[in-house]
Amino acid sequence: MSSDLVIVYHRQPYEEVVVDGKTEYRENKSPNGIVPTLKSFFGKVENAAWVAWKEAATPSDPGFDRVVEIEDSFGRYTVSRLPLTAAQVRSFYHITSKEAFWPILHGFKEKYNYDPVDWPTFKEVNWAFAEAAAAEAAQGASVWVHDYNLWLVPGYLRQMRPDLRISFYHHTPFPSADMFNVLPWRGEIIDSLLAADVVGFHIPRYAANFLSAVRSQHDVGNVPRAAVPADLIAEGSALSDRTVPTEITHNGHVVQLGVTPVGVDVDYITRLAGNENTATLAKRFRAEVGDSTMLLSVGRTDYTKGGADQLLAFERLLERRPELRGTVRLLHVSVSANRAMTVYEPIQRELEEIAGRINGRFGSFTFQPVALISRAVPFEELVAWYQVADVAWITPLADGMNLVCKEYVSARTDGDGVLVLSEFAGAAVEMGAAVLTNPFSTRAMDFAIDLAIDMPEEERRARMTLLRAAVAKRDTRHWARDQLAMLSPEKFGEGSAAAAGSDETAAA
């Protein structure tokens, strides 16, 4: 019970490698992503801890190291590992979170699967996370909890430790009451979130939706609102709002609504984009692409990402514009996050079927219009592909933010390239200079891809300049700094040592 900052995040903040039968904890190979950003704040407090789960055959095994001390370039910190059995992980994560919560968060009522949910196990696992966080947190410490699979943690933690400052961040969208209230556990979830001091979202719309879900259960009276900053409004786009609720008072407790879009590590991607290896890779890829126009799509294999609809749009493009046959190619990288989750098998099959049909209809022995890649591409290669792609085609049906589009823009240090982006990705509110499209409309999808392929260089560059400025403004550090400042103004707010020094740490 000695940490001033406790981060509760499902992934462990390092890679575990077994060398000669001995476990070693190594810093993650790729400094890309949210984990290093969060760790960069560890150097700013005296003592910090991270709580994550780790699968264990027998959780009561005395040989299981529950708490490990890590020292790496981010400083010293404690990692508290919650031992969960394979059955607990399957129930709380793969079933309750992915089959019941995930479809509702993204607006897919028809995919909601209530039957296999074991609610007592979900509660038990969340309770265990809260206990682990409570055990690490010093008096008055700040605890930052991430994502919907830990929805009940703030409520439990508040019961255990009323002294803590608690923040909860949603990486997904948050739906309005009409959708959210499909969940029969809605009352428990909302009450848990209302026990936090800060509830965080990517964009104003999700905060407004959260308020609508709260209002369906409690009379919280008038709620203060603020104007949405101009750089979070893409005129006329589906997710843009003009005002945003800023706090909710319930039973005398004030919950701040923190709206900060997650960004990417622009400095890191810029450095990677400029290094020799990437340049060599990009040169090789460019030679492979030849004179073709290259379209690139990257995302996890998930129905929310709209992969099948996009492949169908590509098929229509080749049908509609015969002159493009043989001169336009699509690299569709769709990686399954977890092969153990059977819900994603039909999507994988569907992608393979459509891609195979397109190649069968429009390909030849030497030319295949679609390359479907179902395994993870190393990030350095991905950055090289970003540099080569004429068009990044990112059209999820629903997406909390979407970082791929921001990575593409950051990698385009040459100032060229076109981004086609779904207006149902949270990122769309920041990226009005992209070709925004509606993936539910075949006409809108067709119009957008035509516009992108035919766009003159001057317009491409003008749009890319605006996009690069938007992405650089709200990078990962901006996000973490903003959210942590709300959680604990004295430790992380403007003027604090943390705020003053955060740039150098993140470069570690």
Which among 373, 388, 418 is positioned nearest to 280, based on CA atoms? 388
Answer yes or no whether residue 382 interacts with ligand GDG by CB under 6 A.
yes
Closest approach, Cβ 428 to ligand GDG, in A, equals 12
Stretch that binds ligand GDG, among 129-137, 298-306, 361-369, 428-436 (CB under 6 A): 298-306
Answer yes or no whether residue 376 interacts with ligand GDG by CB under 6 A.
yes
Which position among 257, 298, 318, 449 is part of the footprint of ligand GDG (CB under 6 A)?
Answer: 298
Residues 251 to 280 in contact with ligand GDG, rule: CB under 6 A: 262
Answer yes or no whether residue 343 interacts with ligand GDG by CB under 6 A.
no
Alpha helices in 321-392 (DSSP H): 345-362, 379-388
Closest approach, Cβ 366 to ligand GDG, in A, equals 26
Stretch that binds ligand GDG, among 207-215, 279-287, 397-405, 488-496 (CB under 6 A): 397-405
- Is the Cβ of residue 164 or residue 506 nearer to ligand GDG in the bound state? 506
- Is the Cβ of residue 171 or residue 321 nearer to ligand GDG in the bound state? 171
Answer yes or no whether residue 404 interacts with ligand GDG by CB under 6 A.
yes
CA–CA gap between residue 351 and residue 347 (Å, rounded): 6
Answer yes or no whether residue 341 interacts with ligand GDG by CB under 6 A.
no
How many angstroms from the chain centroid is the CA of residue 20?
35
Which position among 377, 451, 455, 472 is part of the footprint of ligand GDG (CB under 6 A)?
Answer: 377
Residues 159 to 188 in contact with ligand GDG, rule: CB under 6 A: 171-172
- Is the Cβ of residue 426 or residue 432 nearer to ligand GDG in the bound state? 426
What is the H or E stretch that residue 78 is in?
Answer: strand 75-84
- Is the Cβ of residue 332 or residue 463 nearer to ligand GDG in the bound state? 332
Q: What is the dihedral of CA 272, 278, 283, 286, to 10 degrees?
A: -70
What is the H or E stretch that residue 329 is in?
Answer: strand 328-335
Closest approach, Cβ 101 to ligand GDG, in A, equals 12
Contact between 402 and 208 (Cβ < 8 Å) = no
Answer yes or no whether residue 447 interacts with ligand GDG by CB under 6 A.
no
- Total residues found in the chain within this entry: 508
- Is the Cβ of residue 172 or residue 422 nearer to ligand GDG in the bound state? 172
Which position among 98, 300, 329, 463 is part of the footprint of ligand GDG (CB under 6 A)?
Answer: 300
Answer yes or no whether residue 420 interacts with ligand GDG by CB under 6 A.
no
DSSP class of residue 183? S
Closest approach, Cβ 107 to ligand GDG, in A, equals 13
Answer yes or no whether residue 409 interacts with ligand GDG by CB under 6 A.
no
- Is the Cβ of residue 171 or residue 461 nearer to ligand GDG in the bound state? 171
CB atoms within 10 A of CB 103: 21
Which among 184, 179, 205 is positioned nearest to 103, based on CA atoms? 179
3 state SS for 24-71: EEECCCCCCCHHHHHHCCHHHCCCEEEEEEEECCCCCCCCCCCEEEEE
| Bridge partner list, 372 | 332
Sequence letter at residue 396: P
Interface mask (CB under 6 A) for ligand GDG, residues 320-339, using x and -?
-------------x-x----
Report phi then psi at 79, rounded to 5: -115, 120
CA–CA gap between residue 322 and residue 326 (Å, rounded): 9
Burial of 63 (0-12, 13-18, 19+ CB in 10 A): exposed
- Is the Cβ of residue 33 or residue 489 nearer to ligand GDG in the bound state? 33
Report phi then psi at 475, rounded to 5: -90, -175
Answer yes or no whether residue 422 interacts with ligand GDG by CB under 6 A.
no
Stretch that binds ligand GDG, among 54-62, 269-277, 308-316, 396-404 (CB under 6 A): 396-404
Answer yes or no whether residue 308 interacts with ligand GDG by CB under 6 A.
no
DSSP class of residue 21? T
Which position among 49, 56, 152, 403 is part of the footprint of ligand GDG (CB under 6 A)?
Answer: 403
Answer yes or no whether residue 444 interacts with ligand GDG by CB under 6 A.
no
- Is the Cβ of residue 335 or residue 455 nearer to ligand GDG in the bound state? 335
CA–CA gap between residue 153 and residue 369 (Å, rounded): 48
Stretch that binds ligand GDG, among 58-66, 186-194, 307-315, 401-409 (CB under 6 A): 401-409
- The strand pair at 225-227 and 243-245 is best described as antiparallel
Alpha helices in 69-203 (DSSP H): 86-89, 102-105, 119-136, 153-160, 177-180, 186-194
Closest approach, Cβ 202 to ligand GDG, in A, equals 7
Catalog residues that contact ligand GDG under the rule CB under 6 A.
Answer: 171-172, 262, 298-300, 333, 335, 376-379, 382, 399-404, 407
